Amino acid sequence: MRRVITTLAILFVVVVAGMTALVLLVNPNDFRTYMVQQVAQRSGYQLELQGDLRWHVWPKLSILAGRTSLTAPGATDPVVTAENMRLDVNLWPLLSHQLSVSKVMLKNAVVRVTPESEAVTAKNAPTGPRNRSPRTSTDNGWSFRIAQLQLSDSLLIWQPAGGEAINFRDFNLNLEQNSSRVASISLDTRVSRDQQNLNLDLQGQLDAAQYPRSLKGQISKLDYQLSGADLPAEGIKGNVSLQGSWDGQTQRFDLNQLQVSANDSAFSGNASGDLLVPQQLALNLHATNLNFDRLLTTSVAGDTQTNAERASRRGPVIAEPRERPNADSPLNAMNLDLHLQADNVLWRGLALTDFRVKANDRLGLMTLETLEGHVGTGHFSVPGSVDIRQPVTQVALQPELHGIPLQPLLKALALPDALRGDLDFKGTLQGETLDLQQAKNSWQGTADVQVNKLEMGQIDPQQMLQRAVARISNRVSNDDNVSHPIDQLNASVTLNDGIMTLQNVQGGSDRLALKGAGAIDLARQSLDVTLGIQVSGWKGDDSLVNALSQQAVPLRMYGSWQNVQYSLPVDQVMRQQLQNEAKSRLNQWLDSQSPPQGQREKPHP
């Protein structure tokens, strides 16, 4: 045992002595010119190293550099700047005067992916053939290989052409590359923008063997969490995985085996497109569950929450996010094709099934070719268009609904849900913005509406009329004391700046007939509707039975939704009938008291 320890100690002393001698004999500044030349030769980029290079021997043999920058040809801003850089080098190649870099580490670096940092091609510069083979290293007595790249506590500035810069802070990247140029990537960072925070944690692989002609790779895990203003209280979090490829000649990309989760929503599918101008993107997605109420802030609960709850989810007044005009939307600069199928969807508390969307965007003009699904046994279809090419969004829809349950639909639209029945609706709607409150206040449209098996909550026209008649007179009665839904009610509806006008309202059931008109003010949450009621099945005085069966009694409903008032002037109808009956009997009596025409006294000469 003593001999083993002695041998290990001797080896350790030899290694330390050898490294010390190497550090003393080899000046790292001798590699400065070589590194600059190799970077320029292989990529055209300009590497700048400020200050002296120095050795660092623990825990690995490394070269330390001061402020470092890397600039693309013709660019005004460097792609990378760092306060310090560490190069881990292999020991044995140094003995033969070779520099073999196993790892490059940058700390507190700033990486710019902006128009100012992009390479600028010189005018009249020759262009190589597109089918050329990728570059290979040439043997000139030196080798330059980087197996690992690490950025820690850095900043990535990404700015698309014509867009705003996005800062990725606390940017940590670890890239390990093998001899086949297949890299394993680990990345985590965060973005803060407009009072919203996004955290990213990515694990994946990248095959750069054919770069710059093509790239292949996969993301095995991408965890994200988004929180902040104008988002659900619990935020949005989930993960993404995919396999992808990119063609450098056509600028086309393909994403396959795409799996995305967001809260309790899950998607799968594929995507493809290109980065040429205008950009092209095609999405084909399938969702088993899609819960808009946990992805958007426009849920039913959001309409009934208190002002304090709203304020708690928004930032301070001095930090209000600026209004974003449509010109900032990326949809104005791309062509998009979307195919979405969802088995189960929850939107504002409304459960949808067999949901399908087929839509396209052409530089800001979005066309909804198909937007359909089922609610219970009912079916809906809402084709239309959304135009964001102008400063104010223009919306035009042609909804068709068949057999949609009325009560959950009214609740989803933040309207009083006292009505029950199955709704048929066909019409056109147009207005500005896709906001529901804005739609109720300022949209326009027309529609034909039919409600089957309508129940009006506590308002039962047939029972109301029967009870009113019973309170006034005992000369007539109706033995049908059971509440019945209205079999069918039809109306023509016009919407104009929050006022919904009802015309040609008519319908009824076996023993009830309705006819009327009115208006509903969606903005002020009030109504004024009058329905003429005729009920059959009366028994008793023939004259009153005929009057109640043939003459409509007006039922007027008016006032605010929270406190609906109504009037049912049955007494006026019956009083008029009694007056008519009295007049008729008086006329009959007068006629009976008059002598026959032949027996009338002749006038005196």
H or E segment at 239? strand 236-247
Give the separation between CA 352 and CA 376, rounded to whole angstroms: 8
Does position 320 have pLDDT exceeding 90, yes or no? no
Query: What pLDDT score was predicted for residue 23?
Result: 55
Does position 17 have pLDDT exceeding 60, yes or no? no
Inter-CA distances, 386 with 70, 355, 362, Å: 45, 19, 11
What is 281-324 written as a DSSP string? Answer: EEEEEEEEEEEGGGT-S-SHHHHH--HHHHHHTS--GGGPPPP-
Q: Is position 586 within any domain?
A: yes
Does position 41 have pLDDT exceeding 70, yes or no? yes
Determine contact, residues 389/361, Cβ cutoff 8 Å: no
H or E segment at 112? strand 101-113
Question: Is residue 173 very low, low, confident or very high in pLDDT (cuts 50, 70, 90)?
Answer: very high
Per-residue pLDDT tens for 540-586?
A: 877 777 777 777 889 999 999 888 898 888 777 666 555 555 455 55
488 versus 61: which is more confidently predicted? 488
Q: What would the mean pLDDT of 406-412 be, rounded to a whole number?
A: 94
Does position 189 have pLDDT exceeding 90, yes or no? yes
Percentage with pLDDT > 90 across the chain: 42
Does position 98 have pLDDT exceeding 80, yes or no? no
Does position 295 have pLDDT exceeding 70, yes or no? yes
Does position 134 have pLDDT exceeding 80, yes or no? no
Q: Which residue in this structure is represented by tokens 């056109």? A: 428
234 versus 492: which is more confidently predicted? 492
Q: Is position 498 within any domain?
A: yes
Q: Is position 485 within any domain?
A: yes
Cα-Cα-Cα-Cα dihedral of 57, 63, 66, 68, to 10°? -150
Does position 59 have pLDDT exceeding 90, yes or no? no
Work out the angle at residue 68's Cα, subtended by the Cα atoms of residues 64 and 69, and round it to the nearest 5 degrees: 155
Q: Is position 445 within any domain?
A: no
Q: How many structural domains does the chain have?
A: 1
Cα-Cα-Cα-Cα dihedral of 7, 8, 10, 15, to 10°? 140
Q: What would the mean pLDDT of 307-319 be, rounded to a whole number?
A: 44
Straight-line distance from the first to the last Cα atom of the chain, in angstroms, rounded to the nearest whole number: 171
For residue 37, the tally of other CB atoms under 10 A from its CB is 13
Instruction: List, in order, residues 6 or more apart from 29 with CB less than 8 Å away.
Output: 52, 53
In the predicted model, what is the mean pLDDT of the chain? 81
Question: Is residue 394 very low, low, confident or very high in pLDDT (cuts 50, 70, 90)?
Answer: very high
Query: What pLDDT score was predicted for residue 99?
Result: 62
Q: Is position 387 within any domain?
A: no
2 versus 338: which is more confidently predicted? 338
The encoded tokens of residue 487 equal 């079999």
Query: What pLDDT score was predicted for residue 93?
Result: 60
Query: What pLDDT score was predicted for residue 301?
Result: 44
Give backbone dihedrals phi and psi of 66, rounded to 5 degrees, phi first: -85, -140
38 versus 419: which is more confidently predicted? 419
Q: What would the mean pLDDT of 298-322 be, rounded to a whole number?
A: 46
Q: By mean pLDDT, which of 177-186, 236-245, 286-295, 590-599 is the weakest? A: 590-599
Give backbone dihedrals phi and psi of 325, rounded to 5 degrees, phi first: -70, 165
Query: What pLDDT score was predicted for residue 203?
Result: 96
Strand 46-49 to 252-262 pairing: unpaired
Does position 316 have pLDDT exceeding 60, yes or no? no
338 versus 193: which is more confidently predicted? 338
Per-residue pLDDT tens for 198-253?
A: 999 999 999 988 888 899 999 999 999 999 888 888 899 999 999 999 998 888 99
Q: Is position 552 within any domain?
A: yes
The encoded tokens of residue 252 equal 């086309």
Does position 119 have pLDDT exceeding 90, yes or no? no
Type of residue at 165: A
**Helix pair 542-550, 570-593: axis angle to 10 deg:** 130
Give the separation between CA 543 and CA 584, rounded to whole angstroms: 11
Does position 587 have pLDDT exceeding 60, yes or no? no
Work out the angle at residue 330's Cα, subtended by the Cα atoms of residues 326 and 331, and round it to the nearest 5 degrees: 80
Query: What pLDDT score was predicted for residue 603?
Result: 53
Q: By mean pLDDT, which of 97-111, 291-305, 471-485, 579-593 is the weakest? A: 579-593
66 versus 168: which is more confidently predicted? 168
Query: What pLDDT score was predicted for residue 231?
Result: 85
Cα-Cα-Cα-Cα dihedral of 121, 123, 125, 127, to 10°? 70
Does position 389 have pLDDT exceeding 70, yes or no? yes
What is 149-165 written as a DSSP string? Answer: EEEEEEEEEE--TTS--
Q: Which residue in this structure is represented by tokens 């026209």? A: 461
Instruction: List, in order, residues 6 or more apart from 155 with CB less than 8 Å away.
Output: 109, 110, 111, 167, 168, 169, 171
User: Burial, 271: exposed, middle or buried (Cβ in 10 Å; 0-12, 13-18, 19+)?
Assistant: middle
Instruction: List, in order, residues 6 or more apart from 341 with CB less than 8 Å away.
Output: 285, 286, 287, 355, 356, 357
Does position 263 have pLDDT exceeding 90, yes or no? yes
Q: Is position 114 within any domain?
A: no
Give the separation between CA 311 and CA 119, rounded to whole angstroms: 47
Q: Which residue, among 56, 35, 55, has the nearest Cα to 46 in the 3D structure? A: 35
Q: Could you list the residue range(s) of the whole structural domain that residue 577 is in?
A: 456-591
